Structure 1
Amino acid sequence: MTHESKPAAPDPNDFLGVDHGLNDEERSIRDAVRDFSTRELLPHVADWFEAGTIPEPRALAKNFGNMGLFGMHLHGYGCAGVNAVSYGLACRELEAVDSGLRSFVSVQGSLAMTAIHTYGSTEQKQEWLPRMAAGEAIGCFALTEPDSGSDAGAMRTRARRDGSDWVLNGAKMWITNGSIADVAVIWAGTDEGIRGFVVPTDTPGFSAHVIKRKLSLRASITSELVLEDVRLPDTARLPEARSLGAPLSCLNEARYGIVWGVAGAARSCYQAALDYAGARVQFGRPIAGFQLTQHKLAEMVVDVNHACLTALHIGRLKDSGACHRDHISFGKFANVAGSQRVASAARSIHGANGITLDYPVLRHLLNLETVATYEGTEEVHALSLGHSITGIPAFR
């Protein structure tokens, strides 16, 4: 009689073995980004968060460019051209350090570069994409306004024709990298509908002002953009962007990165809580030995693994061409909420220590408040899912 070997016990850090489903290239990218993030970013991110800025963003951009992280899912023009899962894994490993760092890469690649790559002219692509992929030029993406967030179609920024030129006036708000960008993709209303413009930030009339006093996403540079009679030639217009659907499609690419990224933030909080619970002794034994703490950890490991499974499955759908925008709404809706639960529980396990920057949990919890809002609020994605499953739109 032969005896089958017993299955190995689950790995607490990958309980369902989600990463066993990665191929060699995906695993290599995961490891490279994780190693870089742990070595070069993690030791500094608490200080950046406390300072409310990234001290040397251009040096960071060059490092990201050297690693091929900018526009890594795009093809040509110096972009890496990797699959969607590989891009997602990079987002996960960056956000395991901090949401602001994933946002830096996401805004550059999934928003600004994707807009130019998808809707730009050959000349625009050749001028900007190789430099942006290398981290030599920084881009931003300006859709949100002070009075127009979820209802992007209500934007007040206008572009009017003046002979062969366009003149832009208006303001944009909550723009990541806005004050350090070399180029801004600006969306504006025209007599012909919503149009996009590639705007060098040294254009007269363009100004950017850093938003201060943030309590979330502090290791990220966020700005207000002001456009006062910004005059552009028609060659600055994105020729293939002819409706609000263009910027929304770019946002969908960025949301996909969030689906993966927040799984990294949740993993970081869970691992910190697991380590802390094993080391923290109260009433004569580690708090990991108490039933209430184990219940919290059990809920956390479920949420983390659900988030990783959801991200990987949506990534495979995307790589096969079967990913609908509502799949990504599902991922953002589910994974952000699950990650918030994990971060909140991790903070409670850390007790008073959890409110300090000596541990990552409150920093992640605060960041996730912003991630839950940008690129589609929880409410918007809930309504997207509701429309998808009932066939009845409830937005208006």
Structure 2
Amino acid sequence: MASVLSILAFVFLLFFIFYRRLSLHTGAVVLVLAWLLLGLSSPIFLHPLSLLTLFAGLALLLYTPLRIRVLSAPAMAGLKKMMPPMSDTEREALDAGTTWWEKELFSGRPDWSVFEEIDLSELTAEEQAFIDGETNELCALLSEWQIHHESKDLSPEVWQFIKDKGFLGLIIPPAYGGLGFSAYAQSRVVSKIASRSTVAAVTVMVPNSLGPGELLLKYGSDEQKNYWLPRLAKGDELPCFGLTSPEAGSDAGAIPDTGVVCEQDYDGKRVLGVKLNFSKRWITLAPVATVVGLAFRLSDPDGLIGNEVERGISCALVPATLPGVEIGRRHNPGSAFMNGPITGEDVFIPMDMLIGGQDYIGQGWRMLVECLGAGRGVSLPALSTAGGEMSYLLVGAFARIRRQFGIPVGKFEGVQEASAEIAASAYMLEAYRALVTRALEDGAPSVLTAMAKYHATESLRGVVNHSMDILGGRGVQMGPRNFMALVYQTVPIAITVEGANILTRSMIIFGQGAMRCHPYLADELAALSDESADALPRFDGLLMAHLGHTAEVFSRGILLGLSGGLLAKPKCGNSELSARWYRHINRYSAVFAASADIALLTLGGDLKRRELLSARLGDVHSQLVIACAILKFHDAQTPDEANALHAEYALKHCFMSMNTALAAYYRNLPIKALGVTLKAAFFPWGMPQWTPSDDEVRALGELIMQPSSVRNLLADKVYLSPDPEDAQGRILYTYQLLAAVEKDYEHFLSLDKQGELAGDSVAEKLASAVAGGQLNQAQADAIAAYDDCRYDSLLTDAFDASLDKVDVRPLRPEA
């Protein structure tokens, strides 16, 4: 028995050494002393074979020449055979961008003092004034039904307003005539417009995300900036960017479009330039663009600029008026924003039209990946956030207005199950937006923005589907009254652009995340490809550090699992709720880091092809980031029950998603016993059950229908039409009337149900209530006004036989 206890004590000592990440030499001293002390109670530790094993192991670890020969050199040789070759395109994509808080979460031991110092972005007075002024004015000009089904475009008035007021120059510095807004302000502008019209929002966001403007700002020459940026800011030039080709979509590295270095006459002079042949599709703003940003493969067969023939992917600015450029046709993506193909045959451009000039030849893929951050981290999440917030406000209001079986439909628990998901998702999207745009102030975090694009657009898909379930026919029947169907129709667009979601989840988030966020992996791979004399010693140091890291996070995962996360007490947050959830994040960060390392160590290069496993690890990493965003946002708000309830529900959703991903990951590891062992080690008491209780579902389902601090918070971020004849305004106006009259209205319905009122119509019954003294005339008039609006808000549009013109509206039977 004493021997068993001694062995257990030794095992826990090892966990402690790894948990505290003691240095190799300090850990060795502690280990030897503990070994000798334990030998006093258990002779097994002093057995000659045990001592030989101990000191042989320590010699292997501490004596570098022996370690390199016995351990590191064979490991290096084996890994070189296991790792698949990496293309230049893959290497450029992995090297592009920066990292931020997501790297700390990948470490398994986040430095919470760093996170505590992060303050969420706020609007400047100028940015707030623009949102309250010009952005609201633009929203008031927009009718999504008219844009989609009548004009098939923004009106000339709206186009001119967008140009004149600087919406196309949100990111361009004032020195070039732009507004120079922050990423957060840009997101707020785009989402407010999107709350009114997706078409207008897309029109504004494209020039301010992946397009010539951003590429010029980061890589353009002074001459290019001085010429193009003022024209782009004023709307004198309309840009688009041509990346996707008919046979190169998500595999953008396989761009078939070509440019050949040559000399040709241009503007009466013989100049060095590039002859382009290209065919692009799905290019937003292409039909109306005056300048095309273009990605293509450049070659120099005649050696005019160097000795290399293939010069890699490059980017250029191509005026749409150049001979050979064909532009103007439109695709029909199910939304009326300008989108179409661009082709070019033997289009000649001088060298000064290459973005950045000849210095950036061959760097186009890195340039593009680094500039994807705005589209992935700002624009598309802004669209999703607006959709989530409008669903919260409108569907919550509708669920309170619409009655079935004598009660508001939002009171039914089945409906509350869906409406609670809408509420939590809308809260999460706003929180996520706040954190990601803050990250963009510090750089271009490529992994974080890929997470944002995927999870924001997928959340919108879920929100809109739940909304359509609650709205029923009111959401299905198209017409100028329908406030949801056009959003539903545009969701697939957000899912597919800026990297298709399937690819983003299964390959990019963890694949790029492991390379950029893991403490040692990228450096180890660089050492593997290094043929110099110091490559092996450098790899040896990295390998030992990596093994120590693996032992640390493995130990943390086990000990935090045994304690239910109680051992982790990060000094972060300002409430009991946040303190509790930060402990859980700490625990799951260690579990994730250990699980990722196990996958990297056992699968090696094969993990690249194990997309399902990679996707699940990416899900865990993403949800850790989202949970941090929710807590940071929660702590930044005025504490109250509504804020806490939304945050708690959203956090449980994060951890449910993590549990699902981890369980599937362990279950599907190629070595089945390893998966079983890992799950048992990290979750010895079983996986925590994070499913919201029925009480929480009911509470949040009720809260989405009521005035609250969260409703006010979300309403502040979108445009709410005051027009009772507007698709959105009709619901919100009726909701406001109900809030003022609900008590009297419920009393009236109760009297009618009890048979105390005479008459058949609402008017007759109200007159009976007044005559009987159950209501006064003012109450009756208010109820009548509300009931007329209530009925009108439930109607869907009817059309003539051609579905062209709206016909007379249905009338109430009693009218």
Question: Shorter-chain TM-score: what band?
Answer: 0.7 to 0.9
Cα 1:186/1:278, change in 2 over 3 Å: same
Q: Does 1:130 align with 2:226?
A: no
1:347 corresponding residue in structure 2: 468
TM-score w.r.t. the length of structure 2 is 0.44
Structure-2 change in CA distance of 1:322 and 1:224 (3 Å): closer
Deviation of 1:74 after TM superposition, in Å, equals 3.1
**TM score, norm. by length of structure 1:** 0.87
Q: Among residues 293, 297, 310, which one is paired with 2:419 in the alignment?
A: 297
Instruction: Note if contact 1:272-1:359 (Cα within 8 Å) is conserved in structure 2.
Output: no
Structure 2 segments unaligned to the other structure (5+ residues):
1-119, 264-271, 300-310, 515-595, 610-815
Match of 2:345 in 1: 228
Aligned partners of 2:259 and 2:296 also within 8 Å: yes
Q: 2:508 corresponds to which residue?
A: 384
Name the SS of the counterpart of 2:496 in structure 1.
Answer: coil
Larger Rg: 2
Letter in 2 for 1:371: A
- For the residues of structure 1 that align with 2:193 and 2:204, how far apart are their CA atoms? 9
Say which is worse superposed, 348-357 or 383-392, in terms of deviation: 383-392
Partner Cα distance (1:187, 1:213) in 2: 23
2:450 maps to: 329
Which amino acid is 2:257 matched to? T
CA contact (8 A) 1:347 1:354 kept: yes
Task: Judge conservation of contact 1:262–1:336 (CA < 8 Å) in 2.
Answer: yes
Counterpart of 1:15 in structure 2 is none
Give the 5 Å matches for 1:97-112: 97-110=196-209, 111-112=211-212
1:169 aligns with 2:242: no
Q: Is the 8 A contact 1:70 1:108 kept in 2?
A: yes
Q: Residues 355-388 of structure 1, C-alpha deviation per residue, up to 9 Å, x if partnerless?
A: 2242221211221111011001112321222221
2:411 aligned partner, one-letter code: G
Q: Which moved more, 1:280-289 or 1:30-39?
A: 30-39
Structure 1 unpaired stretches of 5+:
1-19
Does residue 83 of the first structure (1) align with residue 182 of the second (2)?
yes
Deviations 1:15-51 (A, max 9, x none): xxxxx9744535444433652343112xx21121224
CA contact (8 A) 1:157 1:189 kept: yes
For residues 134 and 468 of structure 2, what CA distance do their matches in structure 1 show? 26
Aligned residues: 371
Residue in structure 1 matched with residue 221 of structure 2 by the alignment: 121
Is 1:246 paired with 2:367?
yes
Matched, 1:196 2:311: no
Match of 1:244, as an amino acid? W
Q: Which amino acid aligns with 2:321?
A: D
How far, CA to CA, are the matches of 2:240 and 2:163 in structure 1?
16
Deviations 1:188-235 (A, max 9, x none): 1012111111111011100124334432xx120111001111111111
Q: How many Å separate the matches in 1 of 2:150 and 2:216? A: 33
Q: Which stretch shows the higher mean deviation, 253-262 or 205-214?
A: 205-214
Deviation sequence 1:138-160 (CA, Å, 0-9, x none) = 11010111111111110111011
Alpha-carbon separation, structure 2, partners of 1:322 and 1:225? 32
Q: Given residue 456 of structure 2, which amino acid in structure 1 is its aligned partner?
A: N
Residue range with higher mean Cα deviation, 337-346 or 291-300: 291-300
Q: Which residue of 1 aligns with 2:290?
A: 182
**2:123–2:185 contact (8 Å) kept in structure 1:** no
Contact 1:179/1:221 (8 A) holds in 2: yes
Per the alignment, do residues 135 and 90 of structure 1 end up closer, same or farther by CA in structure 2, a change over 3 Å counting? Answer: same
User: What is the CA–CA distance in structure 1 between the aligned matches of 2:152 and 2:369, rounded to whole Å?
Assistant: 28
Q: Match for residue 482 of structure 2?
A: 359
Q: Is the 8 A contact 2:138 2:158 kept in 1?
A: no
1:368 equivalent in alignment to 2:491: yes
Is it true that 1:54 corresponds to 2:153 in the alignment?
yes
What secondary structure is seen at the aligned counterpart in 1 of 2:376?
helix
Task: Select the structure with the greater relative contact order (CA < 8 A; seq sep ≥ 6).
Answer: 1
Helix, strand or coil: the match of 1:184? strand
The CA deviation string for residues 234-253 of structure 1, in whole angstroms up to 9 with x for no partner, is 11111254231112222222
Q: CA RMSD in A?
A: 2.2
Q: How far is the alpha carbon of 1:119 from its aligned partner? A: 2.1
Q: Which structure shows the bigger proportion of residues in strand conformation?
A: 1
SS in 1 for 2:149: helix
> Which structure has the highest helix share of the two?
2
**Cα–Cα, structure 1 residues 52 and 348, in superposed 2: closer, same or farther, change >3 Å?**
farther
Q: Conserved in 1, the CA contact under 8 Å of 2:327 and 2:341? A: yes
